[in-house]
Chains A and B, each alone.
Chain A
Amino acid sequence: MAELLVIHPLNRGIRPIRLEVETESRKITSAKAGTTFYWDFEKTLQGKDPLDAIQLTQRCSGIDFISHAVAAVRALEGIAGVSVPPNARLIRNILLALDMIYGNLAHFYQNAVPDYIPLKTGPAVHGQDGDFRVPPTVAERIAANAWQALEMRSLIHSMTGVVAGKAPHICNVVFSGITRNLNIADILKLKSNLGEVGRFVFNGYTRDLEDLEKAYPDYFDLGKGDGRLLTVNEFPANKPGEFMIPGSVKTGTGNLVLDTGLITVACAGSWFEAADSGNTTLAGPFKTSPDKPGGYSWVKGALYDKKTFEVGALARMLLSGNSVTTGMGARAFSVMGRFRARLEETKALLEKISAWIEEYEPDGQLTAESEVPEEGLAIGAAEASQGSVIHYVSLSDGRIELYNALDSFSWNLCPQTADNNRGPMEQSLIGLTVANPESPVEVLRAARSF
């Protein structure tokens, strides 16, 4: 007989999630993953000054805000056809990398670790009564590092503050460039703090993940997802057209260059619907429909070439050819594989930030000479710790006509599509065996691996 299991809210992530799974003989046969609160800026941005999008859309996420600022500004720069000066490119790279490292630490220690290490117990809770396999002394060390990770996050935001004024929600990224150059004191502070974060990552984070990998080898085989991956161009290099993370997609048949023109919006399982029935373009517009039959999520789904795709560190590391991550083979598509990809990315980015600081010219130009055009449309994209951010903007008479901001939730929590496709998180749950429905740790761990 089918049994229904609901986890609502699934906490600790960047937004609360509602999970609903159906099990037959303890095996999950269907799954729904969505959000149950409306959070969308499409309507708010219509008619606004285009530059306001750079600030407003940062409020899509209190963790991945930098990628939204950058995606917004790239969309406007795309319309104007302007290239930003070298210092602006470097500063944005540094900020995005800091944001990813921050997000990766937050994900591992705040979101994931409490499902493996008994940090605290409480009444009537899911996933706190078993399957803790790490020896007590190691668990104690990981618990101490979870506190240390909070300090590291604060330290990373203080670096973001040095570069960008403050964090969360930065103010130095503007149309055609940045507002301020780093001085020598700033650079020294960044280098010193990077060293501290690096010591934590190479000693604490690395050992902690290794110990989880040893204790939970079966989680290299659980939580596969849909096997398709997507990244957008990120971390532009000095040479135009070159990126540390090239925008690409991994489909069943191979890797292809990303064409943002193939991105559409999927609303079947969502409480949004196209204002013009059947319109799935990024432009929309979309309207809210909280009583819509079949709706179960406030996420606007994103499809590429009509299919669902997983985004995030795993996609970035596999598609950019990170050797440790690709070396895992098929096991990379798993709970532990996602953790490993985040760690490898964090280590790679720490090195990159140092290199970008070396490239930096303290007196370089801040902005290119350019104006935001009165008319036009463009897609702006950026990578966030959680995954690809896509902004669509069209301008008319110098104001925003239509705007849509999609992020990792649109991809990884894409609600059920019109032709019954399911997003990566839902697919990662289907097929799992829930040993103890009173404490469905398998479900929690798979869902929190994204």
Chain B
Amino acid sequence: MKHLSRRQFIKLCTASAAALGISQVWVPAIGKAYQNAAQGSPPVLWIQGSACNGCSSSLLNSVHPNMKEVLHEIINLSYHPGISTVTVRHLPDYLLDRAQQNRGRFILVVEGAIPTAGQGNFHIIGQDSQGKKITLIELLKKLGELTETIVAVGSCASFGGISAAEPNDAECVGLERLIEVSKVINIPGCPPHPDWIVGTLAHLLLFGRPELDDYGRPRVFFQGLIHNNCPRRQYFDNSIFARKFGEEGCLLQVGCKGPLAHGDCPTRLWNGASSWCVNANAPCIGCTDPSFPDLTMPFYKRMPEIQGPGITSTADAIGIGVGAATAAGLAVHLAGNYFSGRIGKKNSREDEA
């Protein structure tokens, strides 16, 4: 393929094409694009906040393209705490130096939430050449000012996730609470699918910012509701519910949060199209949702019927054709967003915090 258009690329990113890999086409096509680019592609600086680093493990599971192809042909990964082989002596200086040299051009990827308690001393990322301990929040604010594009990988970096679960002693927050929201792209998931990460970075490099939904998530991966694309949707529609694990039926009664979570897991599948949670007879735990995990717990109990405000104010397609049982889930969804202050205009998520 000589030229890959944005439209073609988006099509390749969709889950219906995912069986072929995120791009049968893009490895040669994009690889060539980069070889031809005189300046090379913009460097990616990856830093880890408060997290289990499972997002990085997930990234490494990228199959088509595999990690070698990703690193050699697609992403110019300038620093990653797990993958970079170098042991940098003064990491904060090193990262700031890289950022200065590529000011406005580099892509900052953040995995993990940012603890804000105690002037940030719940997370010290390293020391500078003066021997001063640098907090994550301090480094992040400096790096954030030097770039236009920040990718929050995982639910912790996006919305706080498990790091920010109650009672959140370290006062962890997602990036959008710290950085101008217009710069941030959220790729939630606990962890996110590798295609979501690689696909988003590739879109950024080839065509600029992808189209985002109200929560800053790339629509191409997150526009569908898990529940609407679930292979067990027929069971739901026919009111056939599994009461225990291993029974046929919709998993709502054993805790499934598919009615409130967005993502293409049912069609993309995980780990090289091996499976996904519901295929394993296990409920979706709602890990891509901004309300995860506080309002998606208990994971193995049916969603409680919380009275949420203003069901009609939903902007996306959740409400279309949902049964009575999902209305409860919808209420949870909206309640969660309401309580965390995310319903409203989306150009200033920080102000609403």
Where the two chains meet, the residues of A that have a C-beta atom closer than 8 Å to any C-beta of B are 6-12, 14-16, 18, 36-39, 43-44, 48-49, 51-52, 55-56, 58-63, 65, 110, 114, 119-128, 147, 150-151, 153-155, 157-162, 164-169, 171-172, 174, 177-181, 189, 288, 290-291, 298, 366-367, 444
Contacts and interface: CB of A to CB of B under 8 A. Distances in A.
A154 B298 contact: no
Interface stretch (B200-208, B226-234, B269-277): B269-277
A59 B91 contact: no
Interface-centre pick from A18, A150, A367 (highest chain B CB count, 10 A): A150
B127 A168 contact: no
A157 B271 contact: yes
Contact of B272 (A16, A124, A158): A158
Given A51-B298, A150-B60, A367-B246, A172 B281 contact: yes
Contacts of B272: 154-155, 158, 161
B61 A59 contact: no
Contacts of A7: 87, 89
B55 A366 contact: no
Interface of B: 48-58, 60-63, 66-68, 81-91, 94, 115, 118, 121-127, 131, 133, 136, 162, 165-167, 169-170, 190-191, 244-246, 270-272, 274-283, 285, 287, 293, 297-301
A180 B281 contact: yes
Nearest to A367: B245
Contact of A36 (B49, B124, B279): B124
Nearest to A172: B280
Given A12-B81, A179-B281, A49 B298 contact: yes
Contacts of A153: 60-61
B87 A43 contact: no
Contacts of A291: 118, 121
Contact of B125 (A9, A172, A444): A9
Interface centre among B56, B61, B297 (most CB of A within 10 A): B61
Contacts of A16: 48, 81, 125
Contacts of B293: 52, 55-56
A114 B162 contact: no
A61 B270 contact: no
A48 to B, nearest CB: 6
A179 B251 CA distance: 12
A6 B127 contact: yes
Contact of A167 (B61, B121, B125, B244): B61
Contacts of B300: 49, 51-52, 174
A166 B167 contact: no
Nearest to A365: B246
A59 B52 contact: yes
A165 B167 contact: no
A173 B131 CA distance: 46
A62 B88 contact: no
Contact of B57 (A9, A49, A168): A168
A37 B123 contact: yes
Contact of A122 (B61, B83, B88): B88
A120 B298 CA distance: 46
11 contacts: A48-B297, A51-B299, A62-B54, A123-B94, A124-B90, A125-B89, A154-B62, A166-B274, A167-B271, A169-B191, A290-B122
Q: Tell me which of B82, B131, B301 has the highest count of chain A C-beta atoms within 10 A of its own C-beta.
A: B82
Given A43-B167, A49-B298, A168-B54, A367 B244 contact: yes
Contacts of B162: 44, 56, 59
Contacts of B287: 169
Given A150-B66, A154-B60, A165-B277, A59 B190 contact: yes
A125 B86 contact: yes
Given A127-B87, A180-B246, A166 B276 contact: yes
Given A150-B68, A166-B280, 17 more contacts: A8-B91, A8-B127, A9-B91, A12-B82, A36-B125, A56-B165, A60-B52, A65-B52, A122-B88, A154-B66, A158-B271, A161-B270, A165-B276, A165-B277, A172-B281, A180-B279, A291-B118
A128 B86 contact: yes
B54 A12 contact: no
A286 to B, nearest CB: 11
A189 B279 CA distance: 16
Contact of A366 (B86, B136, B246, B274): B246
A39 B156 CA distance: 12
B165 A55 contact: no
A404 to B, nearest CB: 15
Contacts of A125: 86-89
Contacts of B133: 36
Contact of B275 (A121, A147, A162): A162
A161 B86 contact: no
State the 10 A-B residue pairs at the shortest beta-carbon distance, nearest first: A62-B54, A161-B271, A165-B280, A161-B274, A171-B282, A49-B298, A166-B270, A114-B85, A168-B54, A62-B53
Most buried by A among B51, B83, B126: B126
A43 B169 contact: yes
Contacts of B91: 8-9
B162 to A, nearest CB: 5
A172 B274 contact: no
Nearest to A118: B85
Contacts of A166: 270-271, 274-277, 280
Nearest to B170: A38
A150 B82 CA distance: 12
B54 A147 contact: no
A288 B246 contact: no
Contacts of A49: 297-301
Contacts of A9: 81, 91, 125-126
